[in-house]
Chains A and B, each alone.
Chain A
């Protein structure tokens, strides 16, 4: 690692310090405040430490809040907790509690949509009016015209809301985040969520993070990474993510070319025979025989009455090697002898087959290092070195998280997962592993009780099937993208064009589509076409300006919640503890209460069926009775799932804030039990992809935006940092910690005559939208690429003061176009821009 020379360092420190002392007039003021300062010095601390989990982003890290005199002042990590430590977002939570921006009273829009003109109304007025509008909408368009979106806050309760409002359209943020990866994981492991598949950072030797900024997500993960003194980290990203400040190696890459890089690694590992042959033969579908039409050869192909899911391999246990059921073969060949390629089918015709492994090798051979270097901009030698290191260290390639960037990430994640399988590092210590089943109860499940289908809540309420309304109608986005996890862009199509059917009412719960979704102008147009937009949040996100009603939610320090520990491989649960009441001038209510109260006023029978009572209109009573029994029910269900005494579960959660149920057990799937893929194995060659008409092997596909060509054209990429979340970005410390400039490489800056701090205009090549921002000239971004943080800058809400720092810079979604990826429906957040210096 290069180290700063002292001279450099002095210069740096000097540049930053700018020892401009405050003048004499201010000094004169000192005597007046001297007493206050002294008093403050002597004031004894009245400290209290309360354990909870942070909700400043969706990672929900276990933290201890430091209260002084009952007010939150700071946070601490919890020794021994499986997911602990706070980042800048978490540490800024004391600013959230009494923030002047906090939404204080229910608001009702009085001006035009977008004008940001509201009047304060009381809760009854707001809820009654919303309920009346909702009722009218449902009468005309049905329950399925209601959509709900959220991020992670309250997400556990969303299932309940779907029954409460009888709608399938709970469409979350995942298409804007890990959606591409989720489909890729399902197509490879049969396991979907990014949290269910993760590197074993504690024991890994070598982590390759392509398009994955480890430093951005859960701090529990950062903690595990950094405690592992033997771990080498390589990050591949067009800009240096924060982890590049550590001893990690940063490899800059041309945006949208990750798959070419990974396929080249695969090519080297295969051609240099650095792969784990045994693992590939036994635990993956690499030896499966694939027919020329791309379908796997099955028993039914060769024998009348044969199984359609009995996949065949060439077993070398027999001489000569012969066809066998993959489950029985002991030496299934990865590479076929030429004379065994011909297979006679049951109708007498014959086909030439190849193994899945051979097809992968052919695909990867399209990207030898020299070719991949041209595509990715990574030197050839670096590609070769990383491939060899990865194999030698038996590395683990992170399966990504916030990956919606160029629209081609499905292939990237497929290639990443295959890379892990090639070195046999699946569910082994230090490898890519499957998280323990959490045994955490779902808050509502459908089951049959005494011959009747019901939706049963965790606290025992039962809604009969006759009341499900449109709950099982097709979800708007699934109609278009059946493989996806969510494509919120389709909700906008549904609003604007009634395609596939109209959405008329939308609830935003603690999430900001204007910060997270593509093409802001489309978002706004859709908002303007809604009959009802209700925002439930704690701060004025940009979306608020278009809302018909804005309802202030409580923050996580003001309520109880129980959830599984999301970023740990172990089975564990932690609790959030109410430690404060909202400040006296903040009339906030729990989003859970708000949703039930709207339902009780619009569709009372639905609310009652899910256990609600008229008395709960009193928020205190709801807390004391409904919430309490809800929480108790979760704990007793947890206890019964883990066969433990509920008193023990309760005590551990009360005393420690968390409970460990089962440590991660390695070597289970696919070794002792099958994976939920069609073959039960790791699918190098995705059979599910074949079924749904997608390419069963990864490839380098072009990004879904116009590529920059002219000298003043750039890729515009965006990403997160440990300071970025929609809520944290508005906290005062972020005025200083988040850079709201647009990063430009010094070579590009020189070429265009642009200096650090200059104002530039960026014009979206695909949209023509223009925005202005200051430039930061830095080598933390690759040549030809501009970078800016997502969700943190270019805020527009009229409810923010005119000089609020979050207004600086750009929201990159203002410039990009709406392009969900074909197949996965994942978002495309990067784009290309034309740059002009503003004189």
Chain B
């Protein structure tokens, strides 16, 4: 099983529901003055990037679950690892020494520093991790009004994410870096 995310840029209306729902992973940061100082953002694993030049262009960025993950390679203790059962990139906080190598190594800027625990954080957050383990959708996918998001097993050709990858023009971000990301963008 290789679990992956999909985001359909043709459908996303930038409503931010996925981002805000993602913040449910960090309830302790809800009313913090600066919940995510590194990103100057709310305590969530998804960022919004808007291109202001030319046709309006939007990207929603979160961990790409790289199969060849620079963050994992950079981690000196093995705290960042690829979960063999799911293919998701995870962080074992028991092993993390807080060196931030993974944050620097990630070419997508997908990791941020939790201002209270000082651990790196990334998608999936602690709540979504448990939801995924129960076979439920992560919170960003479950809320999306535009059905612009999907999550599932790309090894299963019947899964809805596999079907979408097959049917649509799909690309992956910064593919040329050889990270083998598993975050598919429909264009």
Contact = CB atoms under 8 A, between A and B. Distances in A.
B15 A27 contact: no
Interface in A191-239: 215, 219-220, 222-223, 225-227
Contacts of A518: none
Q: Identify the interface centre among B15, B23, B53, B148: most chain A CB within 10 Å of its CB.
A: B15
Interface string B6-17: 000111111111
A33 interface: yes
A36 B30 CA distance: 16
Contacts of A84: 145
A250 B56 contact: yes
Nearest to B17: A91
Interface stretch (A74-82, A315-323, A444-452): A74-82
Contacts of A38: 93-94
Interface stretch (A14-22, A343-351, A367-375, A786-794): A14-22
A9 interface: yes
B146 A222 contact: yes
Contacts of A41: 93, 126
B13 A13 contact: no
A100 B30 CA distance: 11
Contacts, number: 225
Interface in A20-66: 20-22, 26-27, 29-30, 33-34, 36-38, 40-41, 44-45, 61, 66
B69 interface: no
B74 interface: no
Contacts of A246: 9-13, 146
B170 interface: no
B87 interface: no
Interface string B109-127: 1000111111100000011
A395 B144 CA distance: 27
Given A16-B49, A246-B11, A74 B139 contact: yes
Contact of A8 (B10, B51, B109): B51
B46 to A, nearest CB: 11
Interface string B150-187: 00000000000000000000000110100000000001
Given A85-B143, A780-B52, A245 B27 contact: no
A223 B98 contact: no
Main SS of chain B's interface residues?
A: loop
B139 A100 contact: no
Contacts of A100: 31
A64 to B, nearest CB: 8
Contacts of B19: 88, 733, 737
Interface string A1-17: 11110101110111011
B42 interface: yes
Contacts of B103: 19, 21
A732 interface: yes
B127 A1 contact: no
A245 B56 CA distance: 6
B1 interface: no
A92 B19 CA distance: 10
A37 B114 contact: yes
A76 B142 contact: yes
Contacts of A778: 52
B20 interface: yes
The CB with the most chain B CB atoms within 10 A, among A41, A223, A733, is that of A733
Q: How large is the interface on B (under 10, 10 to 19, 20 to 34, 35 or more residues)?
A: 35 or more
Interface in B39-57: 39-42, 47-49, 51-57
A240 interface: yes
Contacts of B78: none
Nearest to A20: B38
Contacts of B27: 68, 71, 73
A86 interface: yes
Given A30-B118, A245-B14, A74 B40 contact: no
Given A27-B98, A226-B148, A13 B49 contact: yes
A8 B16 CA distance: 23
Nearest to B61: A13
B38 A733 contact: no
Contacts of B56: 240, 244-245, 250, 779-780
A780 B54 CA distance: 8
A73 B38 contact: no
Contacts of A90: 17, 143
Contacts of A680: none
A88 B17 contact: yes
Contacts of A245: 9, 12-14, 56-58
A746 interface: yes
Contacts of B142: 74, 76-77
A2 B17 contact: no
B104 interface: yes
A809 B39 CA distance: 22
A224 B82 CA distance: 37
A569 interface: no
Given A1-B187, A9-B174, A45-B130, A87 B145 contact: yes
Contact of B147 (A33, A34, A92, A227): A227
A227 B164 CA distance: 13
A736 B143 contact: no
A733 B23 contact: yes
B146 A85 contact: yes
Contacts of A68: 24, 27, 127
Given A73-B127, A88-B15, A19 B94 contact: no
Contacts of A2: 54-55, 57
A723 interface: yes
Contact of B28 (A14, A40, A247, A722): A40
A243 interface: yes
B174 A6 contact: yes
A95 interface: yes
B118 A33 contact: yes
A77 B144 contact: yes
A462 interface: no
Q: Which has the most chain A C-beta neighbours within 10 Å: B17, B48, B114?
A: B17
Nearest to A777: B52
Contacts of A36: 116-117
B59 A12 contact: yes
Contacts of B17: 75, 85-88, 90-91, 219, 722
A600 B116 CA distance: 51
A242 interface: yes
Contact of A722 (B14, B47, B187): B14
A85 B5 CA distance: 19
Contact of B109 (A19, A45, A220, A240): A19
A66 B13 contact: no
B100 interface: yes
Contacts of B148: 226
A45 B11 CA distance: 32
Contacts of B116: 33, 36-37
Given A21-B113, A733-B16, A86 B145 contact: yes
A616 to B, nearest CB: 35
B70 to A, nearest CB: 14
Contacts of A61: 145
Nearest to A250: B56
B76 interface: no
Q: Which residue, of B28, B116, B176, has the highest number of chain A Cβ atoms within 10 A?
A: B116
B6 to A, nearest CB: 14
26 contacts: A6-B176, A13-B61, A13-B108, A21-B103, A61-B145, A68-B127, A73-B127, A75-B143, A76-B137, A77-B145, A85-B145, A87-B16, A94-B24, A95-B30, A215-B14, A222-B15, A227-B147, A245-B14, A245-B56, A245-B57, A247-B11, A732-B35, A733-B16, A735-B42, A779-B53, A780-B56
Given A21-B103, A37-B114, 14 more contacts: A16-B47, A18-B40, A21-B104, A68-B27, A77-B145, A84-B145, A95-B31, A100-B31, A219-B15, A242-B14, A246-B146, A247-B11, A732-B31, A777-B52
Q: Rank and list the top 4 A-B pairs by shortest CB-CB distance, nearest first.
A: A85-B145, A17-B109, A88-B16, A219-B145
